[in-house]
């Protein structure tokens, strides 16, 4: 030991701290640690005992059936409620009056941070939430809807860059589909040469080449007419939404819901009305003497969008184009036959 007592004392403190640290470290190692690997083995059983935090969409349906049904028919059908709203444990426990450790019942009922407040579901309204899936990325499959926000606002003449996605798009029914996804018509989806070939392939294709389904191959007259109209800056798929189910087929919709047109044309002060014609739906219907079941296309279709009679498959009355396309799909050399075989 040293002659000076303070040196001895500081040595005692130092080594005492080291020994105490080692003892503490040893004491704090969980009993089952290292049994199977570098982790606490007891967790394997403890983890299974934890209450389930996420409820699943069918629990939401019990109380919110209307929204559930709307959500189920649209393309967000595969996005669970809790993906955007957060887990529903406290919310469900509170409203079903389940005694649960997840809700702090000692808190006031209505105060900020109280029981009712804890039980509220999140509503994520910032654009980043939507852009997490829909931001334009080269790594995303091309058929997946994705946007460059600035270009999107520019295209739609939106004045305020802080406009939320929710100003136009309903997250529960982003495409306002009239039918459920599963009930819509199966249609060959638009394919590109590079789906099968590398990019160096050049046209013309050989005569026995399987059909590549691009809109213009079957609906040329209609598309030529569309290109002469005001909406020519849009793609066919902007309105005829495609929901891909495989590499070569998918569900296709003709969007006849007025809410779809109103995404761009409703007078909501976010769109530059000097560049995009806007209306208030109720007043417009009243003024024009339209019945509530009428679609925008019924009056504006031929003039503003495209003249349906220019469709080579069009025949007055029933939409016989479907029958003709179905017939075409029976042709052995077409992709359609392959689709049929796949589906079988």
**CA 255 remoteness from chain centre:** 17
Q: Does 150 bind another protein (CB under 8 A)?
A: yes
* 138 lies in the site for another protein, by CB under 8 A: yes
Dihedral pair phi/psi, residue 321, rounded to 5°: -55, -35
User: Smaller CB distance to another protein: residue 13 or 294?
Assistant: 13
Binding window for another protein (CB under 8 A); candidates: 59-67, 80-88, 129-137, 232-240 = 129-137
**How far is residue 72 from each of residues 81, 140, 207, 216, 343, measured CA to CA in Å?**
11, 24, 43, 32, 23
Virtual torsion, Cα 23, 27, 33, 35, nearest 10 deg: 80
Q: Alpha helix (H) ranges present in 156-310?
A: 215-218, 220-227, 236-239, 258-265, 281-288, 296-300
- In angstroms and rounded to an integer, the radius of gyration of the C-alpha atoms of the chain is 30
Judged by beta carbon, residue 149 or residue 188, the one nearer another protein is: 149
Q: What Cα–Cα distance (Å) separates residue 215 from each residue in 219, 323, 333? A: 6, 17, 19
From the list 55-63, 138-146, 231-239, 249-257, the region that binds another protein by CB under 8 A is 138-146
Tell me if 4 contacts another protein by CB under 8 A: yes
Angle of the 321-329 helix axis to the 335-343 helix axis, nearest 10 = 80
Output the smallest distance, CB 45 to another protein, in A: 19
Binding window for another protein (CB under 8 A); candidates: 6-14, 44-52, 103-111, 321-329: 6-14
Closest to another protein by CB, 109 vs 139, is 139
Q: Which of 135, 157, 244, 259 binds another protein (CB under 8 A)?
A: 135
Binding segment (CB under 8 A) for another protein, from list 117-125, 137-145, 277-285, 303-311: 137-145
Question: Could you say which of 149, 171, 250, 258 contacts another protein (CB under 8 A)?
Answer: 149
Which residue number, 161 or 282, has a Cβ lying nearer to another protein?
161
CB of 137 to another protein, least distance (A): 6
- Could you say whether residue 83 binds another protein (CB under 8 A)? no
CA distances from 283 to 61, 157, 280, 290 (A): 34, 23, 6, 10
Stretch that binds another protein, among 4-12, 60-68, 201-209, 236-244 (CB under 8 A): 4-12
Give the pairing type, strands 242-244 and 185-188.
unpaired
How many residues sit in the footprint of another protein (CB under 8 A)? 30
Query: Coil, strand or helix: which one is 244?
Result: strand
Per the rule left: phi > 0, alpha: psi between -120 and 50, beta: everything else, 289 is left
Residue 251 vs residues 74, 267, 286: alpha-carbon distances, Å: 12, 31, 35
- Contact residue for another protein among 65, 128, 320, 322 (CB under 8 A): 128
Site for another protein in 29-58 (CB under 8 A): 29, 33, 38
Smallest gap, in angstroms, from Cβ of residue 338 to another protein? 30
Q: Which of 66, 132, 326, 330 binds another protein (CB under 8 A)?
A: 132
Backbone angles phi, psi at 277, to 5 degrees: -65, 130
Distance between CA atoms of residues 57 and 42, nearest Å? 31
Q: Say which residue the tokens 């929204």 belong to.
A: 67
* Interface map 13-32 toward another protein (x if CB under 8 A): xx--x-------x--xx---
Which of 10, 19, 288, 319 binds another protein (CB under 8 A)? It is 10
Binding-site ranges for another protein (CB under 8 A): 4-7, 9-10, 13-14, 17, 25, 28-29, 33, 38, 127-128, 131-133, 135-140, 148-150, 161-162
């Amino acid at each position: 030991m040293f002659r000076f007592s303070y040196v001895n004392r500081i040595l005692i403190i130092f080594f005492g701290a080291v020994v105490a640290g080692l003892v503490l470290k040893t004491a704090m190692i969980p009993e089952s640690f290292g049994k199977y690997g570098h982790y606490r083995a007891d967790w394997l059983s403890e983890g299974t005992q934890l209450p389930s935090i996420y409820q699943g969409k069918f629990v939401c349906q019990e109380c919110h059936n209307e929204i559930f049904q709307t959500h189920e028919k649209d393309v967000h059908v595969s996005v669970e409620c809790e993906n955007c709203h957060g887990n529903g444990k406290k919310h469900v426990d509170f409203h079903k009056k389940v005694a649960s450790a997840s809700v702090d019942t000692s808190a006031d009922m209505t105060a900020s941070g109280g029981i009712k407040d804890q039980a509220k579901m999140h509503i994520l309204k910032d654009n980043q939430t939507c852009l997490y899936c829909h931001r334009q990325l080269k790594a995303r499959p091309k058929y997946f809807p994705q946007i460059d926000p600035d270009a999107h606002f520019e295209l739609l003449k939106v004045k305020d860059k802080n406009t939320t996605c929710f100003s136009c798009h309903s997250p529960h029914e982003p495409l306002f589909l009239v039918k459920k996804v599963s009930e819509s018509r199966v249609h060959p989806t638009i394919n590109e040469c590079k789906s099968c070939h590398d990019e160096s392939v050049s046209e013309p294709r050989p005569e026995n080449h399987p059909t590549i389904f691009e809109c213009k191959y079957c609906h040329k007259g209609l598309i030529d007419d569309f290109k002469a109209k005001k909406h020519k800056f849009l793609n066919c798929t902007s309105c005829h939404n495609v929901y891909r189910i495989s590499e070569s087929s998918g569900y296709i919709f003709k969007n006849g819901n007025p809410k779809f047109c109103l995404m761009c044309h409703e007078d909501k002060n976010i769109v530059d009305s000097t560049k995009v014609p806007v209306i208030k739906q109720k007043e417009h219907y009243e003024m024009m003497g339209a019945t509530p079941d009428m679609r925008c296309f019924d009056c504006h279709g031929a003039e503003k969008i495209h003249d349906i009679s220019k469709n080579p498959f069009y025949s007055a009355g029933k939409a016989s184009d479907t029958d003709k396309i179905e017939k075409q799909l029976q042709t052995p050399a077409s992709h359609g036959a392959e689709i049929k075989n796949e589906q079988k």
